């Protein structure tokens, strides 16, 4: 069980702070269950509620600094999530995001970025689906790395760029 003040990774909102724990007095909640009240770290407008039981795995612990550094070192080894059919690609991107795992986000980023660069090199526009999921995955990943490494998102981006240059193959 998490405590008030803990940070967790939420499958749809990224890093969140637990601001309260208890029963909710709102119509859509189960009055018998306890809920975490979550405040997304990078979205000042939202508040989320998730059952303390976490049966659907909506939240998990934020990775450690060592885990973040190891993942960054492993970037080149992590396979891109590659699918040629547009409809299947979006479904796989969605599925990968819902796993709430950094490696899945890296796979999306690598595939989307590679597709985007290839299309641009051919004089074509990037595809909205790739741009959308690239943005979401980068936001979640960079946000989690920032929390784990006690850096700002910009510092994380510079750290990765310094390590790999403009792209990770």
What does each of the 169 residues of the chain score in pLDDT, given as a tens digit?
Answer: 899 999 999 999 999 999 999 988 776 667 788 999 999 998 778 899 999 998 888 999 999 999 999 999 999 999 998 888 878 988 999 999 999 999 999 999 999 999 888 989 999 998 888 899 999 999 999 999 999 999 999 999 999 989 887 655 4
**18's torsion region: left (phi>0), alpha (psi -120 to 50) or beta?**
beta
What residues make up the domain containing 17?
7-61
At 131, list the tokens. 């741009």
Q: Are 72 and 53 part of one and the same domain?
A: no
At 25, list the tokens. 């007095």
CA atoms within 13 A on the CB side of 45: 0
The whole-model pTM stands at 0.88
At 118, list the tokens. 């290839």
According to the model, what pLDDT value does residue 128 have? 87
**57's torsion region: left (phi>0), alpha (psi -120 to 50) or beta?**
left
According to the model, what pLDDT value does residue 31 have? 75
In a domain, 2, yes or no: no
Q: Are 37 and 105 part of one and the same domain?
A: no
- Domains contained in the chain, number: 2
């Amino acid at each position: 069980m998490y405590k008030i003040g803990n940070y967790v990774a939420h499958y749809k909102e990224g890093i969140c702070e637990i601001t309260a724990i208890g029963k909710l007095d709102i119509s859509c909640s189960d009055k018998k269950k306890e809920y975490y009240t979550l405040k997304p770290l990078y979205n000042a407008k939202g508040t989320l509620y998730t059952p303390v039981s976490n049966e659907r795995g909506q939240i998990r612990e934020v990775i450690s600094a060592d885990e973040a550094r190891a993942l960054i070192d492993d970037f080149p080894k992590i396979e891109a999530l590659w699918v040629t059919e547009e409809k299947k690609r979006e479904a796989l991107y969605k599925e990968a995001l819902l796993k709430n795992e950094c490696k899945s986000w890296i796979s999306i980023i690598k595939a989307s970025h590679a597709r985007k660069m290839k299309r641009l090199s051919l004089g074509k526009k990037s595809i909205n689906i790739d741009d959308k999921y690239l943005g979401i995955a980068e936001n979640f990943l960079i946000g989690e790395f920032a929390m784990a490494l006690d850096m700002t998102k910009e510092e994380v981006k510079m750290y990765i760029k310094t390590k790999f240059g403009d792209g990770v193959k």
